Structures are given as C-alpha cells and as structure tokens.
Chains A and B, each alone.
Chain A
C-alpha cells in the first residue's frame, strides 16, 4: 500500500501571520491549514471541496511548496520535501505542477503561447531549438489546439482555450502529480464540460495523479475517486464513496443539500445552514463546526474530534459519526427519483 502512495501529508499546518500596529507586530495568526493528514494514491483523483476561506487553495499550494508549511511533513514519492531548499525543489517541481483558477492572470500577456508552453522545457533543459517547437505543438494538439495557435498571444483566446493552454504548460515536463486549483470556476457550463472531459482523457494518457480543488460539489464528484471535505483548515470528511449518497459529517450533509438541484420538482428543499464560516483567525474551540451544527452537544465544544475510519476508507471527524440521523436531502430524493425513472 505504501508504495502506491504518491503524496502524503502529516499534520500539515500553514499559518499566516497577521500584523498590526506601528511596528507591524504579529498580532495573530490565520489558521489557513490546520493539521491535515492526507494520502494521495498514484493514479487517483483526490477532490477537495469546501466553502471559500476553508483553506483548499492554501493546502494545494503548500503541498507544492509554493508556500512553506508552518509545521508538519510533506512526503512526495517517498521523499520528505518539507524542508528542501529552492535548488533541490527545482527537480521535484518537474514532477508536480499546478493549474490555476484564473487562466488570464496566470498567462503572461506579452509572450506567445509557444514561448509560454516552451519555457519550462527550456528552463529545465529538456529540449532545445526546433525540438521545443515540436514538443510544444505536440502538447497543444493533445489539449485540442492547432498549429495556428502557436504564435498567438493569450488575449486572442477564449476562456476555455486559455485554460487548455495552462493545462498544456502544466503537462510540458511530464509530471506525475498535478494540482487543479478551481480550473473550471470561471468557465461556462458547456466549456466546463469540455475541459473536464479533456482532463480525464489526459489523466489516462499521461498516467497522472490529480488533486482537484473546487467549490463546485457536482464537478468534484464527477472528477474524483475520493473526496476530502474541508472546513476551516481541517479535513472533516474523506470518502471514497458518493458524497451525495452517504455522508457522516453534518457539515458535509448541509453542504451537499445546499447545492441547487437542476430539477424544478425538487425546489426549495435545501437544508439551510445558519450563519457563515467563522473567522480562521480565532477558530472555535473543539469541533470547529459546532457553532453552526444542529446536533452539537457539550463535548463538541470542548474536544476536537479525530478523523476516524468508518470502514472502507471513509474517514470522518465527528464525535457522533454514524449516530446522527440527517434525514433525506433533496439530492438523495432526486437521485432516487431519477433512478426509478
């Protein structure tokens, strides 16, 4: 089993200092990622979902060492990369890449696509001269672009095409692991479907392992083999099963049932979560979800629940995991109704 694990994080923490006052003293910490233990198996897609500010993106960037972790360990391909210096990191970075949320912001508007996609090849000494052009063309064709596009600038492309360019650039060095940070959140439904299909195809072709970060639950469910649900910097549920059918954590259930069902027959059945996500500067004590949880009891305030295995690799961090009766969500209703039809 251990051989199969491509990436492992042990109690990974990332705090951002909060400065204030005349001398920019550190007055507090933002607990962006607070003790995350994750294993990512080779060839799988691990989905990460949560509301904005729950630390999904920070987790993705910390894993890639784009941000240096406050404490904890990151083990990539059997090697501890938590404290590697920049020089050693460069070789590791060839193996792990990222696709950012906003493709326009992550492409240099002043250089052509050929240069953008070719740059990692040149920097890492993979190819030279004519060879670069051929490799770039090959990559662009794989993501569904053509030779005409080679000498164009990013502004000449549509949103979906730009995202394809970003994907091509990420794949240029033949990585093992790619973090997809909200790759489709700025695209339309029809383009989103194209991008998601493309990513699935490329995963098979290049034998990739994905970490797929998104706030869109249906997209994550579609893409992922396992899904981690994050709340205020912590993983509250990690499941290989269908999130929409079986969830043990009350937060997951509330999150799932808040997703609007694209069927008018099931309108207005969302279970509505009170309030908003508390500030990660002073997260609540004990279980971080307890102020918004309808099932919260005394113990939830005092003691932080551990991520426990509920069987079959389904981990839940809740004191009453498996004992709670959430009722039926509109999603389940919908699923069973569609199943019957």
Chain B
C-alpha cells in the first residue's frame, strides 16, 4: 500500500500501524495481464488488498472485475496467457508450534517453494463443487492426499504402530491364556493317558509363545524409544493415519456419517456435502489463510446458510483468516468484517463491513448497494448503474468507473485516483468522494 504509506508516515500513531503487525496477507500494487490475440487484457491494475489475522475479508465486485484473478495471483495459479507483471504479495506466515512469524514475498518464491505454500499455508475452495473434486478418486483418498503431502505424520504414525503392537500383544496374551485353559481341560480329560509326548508339546508351545512375546515387547520398547524423534512411518501407516485425519476433518465440517463418506466418490454426494468435503480438504492442513472463491454461489440459500455458518464456526476453531470472494453483498454482510470492493481490475473501496454498508463513499459502491432488490421495500423500479462493465483490453483512461459515474468530472477522465485513507480505516479511490467523511 504505497499510497497509504505516505499518509501513515505523516500520522504519528495511526490505527493501521498497530494493525499492520497483524496482517497475514498484504497485496501491494499487483498487476496481472493476460496476453490474448485480441490484445492485452489488463485484468488487475495495481490492486491493493490486505487481510488481518483472524479476520474474514470479503472481496466483492461484478463479473470480470478481477476477484478470482486476484485469488489466483496470490496462489500463483495464473496460467498462460496470463502473467503477474508487478507487485508484492507479502505473506506473514505464523508457525503454529513456535509462534514465529516469517514474512515472505510470494512472488519471489520458486515454484517448488510455492508447492509448500499452496494447500498447506494458503488453501482455496473453488466455486463449482460439481467439477472441482476429481471424480475418479474417493473423497477420503483426495483429502488424505493433501494431508500426506503437507503434514508430518510420523508422530501419529508411530503412535498408531505402538497402539497396534500393544493391542496385538494383549490379543496374544488372551489367546495364550485361552490355549492354556483348553490344554488343561484336555489334561484332566485324558487323566492317566496324558503322557510325555503331550507334556513336551505343551512346553514347546509355551517356549514359542514366550519367545514371540519377548520379541514383540522388545520391538514395542524400541518403538517407544523413538517417540521423541519419530521416523517416517511406513506407507501403510501413513495412509491409515492420513485417512483417520481425513475422517476427523469431515467430522469437523459436520459431515453426516463421515466414516462412510470417505469411501464414497464425489458424484455420490450432494452439492452441499461436496462443498463441505472441499472445505474439509482445504482446512486439513490448518492453513493460515483460506480463500473461498465464490464457494457458496452454486448452492441453494438454505444450504448456503449452512455452509456460511460452518465457516464462521471453523474460523474460531482453527484460527484461520478467511478471504471470501463473492458477488453477493448479502454474503459479505453476513460473514465478513472487512470488505474490499473491486471494479474493473482496481480496488475502489476498502473498509470495515459496518462502515462500508452504512456509509459507502465511492459512487460505484453506493450504486451496487442500491441495485440489490431489498426485502423490505416496495419499489416499482430498482436504482440501476447505467452502462456496462468496460472491456479490459481498452479500459477507460483515468478512473475506470468514470463512464458510468454520475459525479464524473474532467479530472476523472485524465487521472487515475489512488487508494487513499479518506477517513480512519476507510480507503477509497475516488476524486469526487460522496457520502460523509
């Protein structure tokens, strides 16, 4: 946020300075272009976003305003012909064990290092639950794949092996005592017929059992000795542990009959259940950031309410910061505490949800708020924003909103407004801000 930086330095102790420490993600002047045959699509033009730790941040805007491209740029998933040209994406990762915060610029990482971030530290849930999960793998396999890839399963694997070995020793003990009981009964039945041969057989059995038992106990002791420094578990145990965690994750997202669902294929689940499974998959590595790219758009209102409620609950449980990308202002009001409004590849307004909804300053934001049919009003006509979203190959010069803006003046046509802090914690990119400030 280079533009706000100037303001910040002039202020002695600004509120944002304190909040700055807590930022988990900071996108600065991000530029992403798509080089198509028709020309260069300027999809993101100096986008600024920030996400505070523990917050739910919403990104709203119309189709083609760059919401999804921002999310993909953050994860470096922009595919050719698209390219990230400029900017910084600062990610302040928190190590949950040590509590250390490390800052990295995601755009400077190598592709290999990026693999360690995607899914593990920043996870994403995509829009269409019908196409996203792989149809030929079981739900459990897909979730446990993520877990196996990113998580250290050795401790749990060792635990599982110790548990299993202990159980086996106990089982053998029971078996042995059972055998002894039976052989004693046999002895009584035979009476005087019980000869040396039988006696020999009996001792042989006992010796064999003892040898086996000591061998297993020695192994158990060996495994227990490794508990401080657990080794990589064998594949069988990795799979089993990962599957067990997958079931736990599914239970956390309130999937009914989770142990059955892990063995099912995605097509056997309904849309809402599939979206839950995807959320479970995304959260399975305790990511610092969860990005929901229109995660509830394809769902019915009642199911959407279930999923949104779930996200709100999980945020507190796991301590993940969530970035919700949506075009539905209702969803934003329901879940987010900070909102970024985007228009044609630029951030036009950024403020706390209460502030933005009660006091929209950018003409586009207020137009957007007025265009939704309200439940309580009986209006004959809706207030509409005139015109259509501009073509991003040849975006309008100056402020990209000026052709549709009723307050546009000469400066709007020539000069691109910067995002500035118009009042404390309310950032607007407009030459003629409306509303009270």
Contact = CB atoms under 8 A, between A and B. Distances in A.
A258 B375 contact: no
B354 A259 contact: no
A132 interface: no
Interface string A159-180: 1110000000000000000000
A189 B62 contact: yes
Contacts of A263: 333, 357
Interface in A190-205: 190-194, 196-197, 200
Contact of A335 (B273, B331, B375): B375
Interface string B103-144: 000000000000000000000000000000000000000000
B382 interface: yes
Contact of B305 (A215, A266, A273): A273
Contact of B388 (A158, A267, A277): A158
Contacts of A188: 62-63, 327, 389
B115 to A, nearest CB: 35
Interface stretch (B162-170, B188-196, B283-291, B363-371): B363-371
Contacts of B385: 190, 193
B329 A262 contact: yes
Interface stretch (A35-43, A81-89, A218-226): A218-226
Nearest to B300: A51
A258 B378 CA distance: 20
B302 A255 contact: yes
A70 B380 CA distance: 38
B333 A264 contact: yes
Given A200-B380, A272-B309, A338-B376, A267 B368 contact: no
Contacts of B304: 258, 260
A323 interface: no
Given A160-B388, A215-B301, A264-B357, A272 B376 contact: no
A266 B332 CA distance: 12
A153 interface: no
A104 to B, nearest CB: 13
Interface string A232-269: 00000000001010000000001100111111111110
B312 interface: yes
Interface in A124-179: 158-161
Contacts of B271: 52
A180 to B, nearest CB: 15
B387 to A, nearest CB: 9
A270 B334 contact: yes
Nearest to B380: A200
B335 A276 contact: no
A334 interface: yes
Nearest to A242: B378
A197 B302 contact: no
B184 interface: no
Given A254-B302, A270-B309, A264 B369 contact: no
A300 interface: no
Given A273-B305, A276-B272, A261 B333 contact: yes
A217 interface: yes
Interface in B366-418: 367-369, 371-376, 378-385, 388-389
A191 B388 contact: yes
A21 interface: no
A199 to B, nearest CB: 11
B270 A260 contact: no
A45 interface: no
B99 interface: no
Contacts of A255: 301-302
B427 to A, nearest CB: 18
B375 A276 contact: no
Interface of B: 62-63, 270-273, 300-306, 308-309, 312, 327-337, 353-354, 357, 367-369, 371-376, 378-385, 388-389
27 contacts: A52-B271, A158-B389, A188-B389, A190-B368, A191-B388, A193-B372, A193-B384, A196-B382, A197-B382, A197-B384, A218-B372, A218-B374, A222-B373, A222-B382, A255-B302, A260-B330, A261-B330, A263-B333, A263-B357, A264-B333, A264-B334, A264-B337, A268-B309, A270-B308, A270-B334, A272-B302, A276-B273
Interface of A: 51-52, 158-161, 188-194, 196-197, 200, 215, 217-219, 221-222, 242, 244, 254-255, 258-268, 270, 272-273, 276-277, 331, 334-335, 338-339
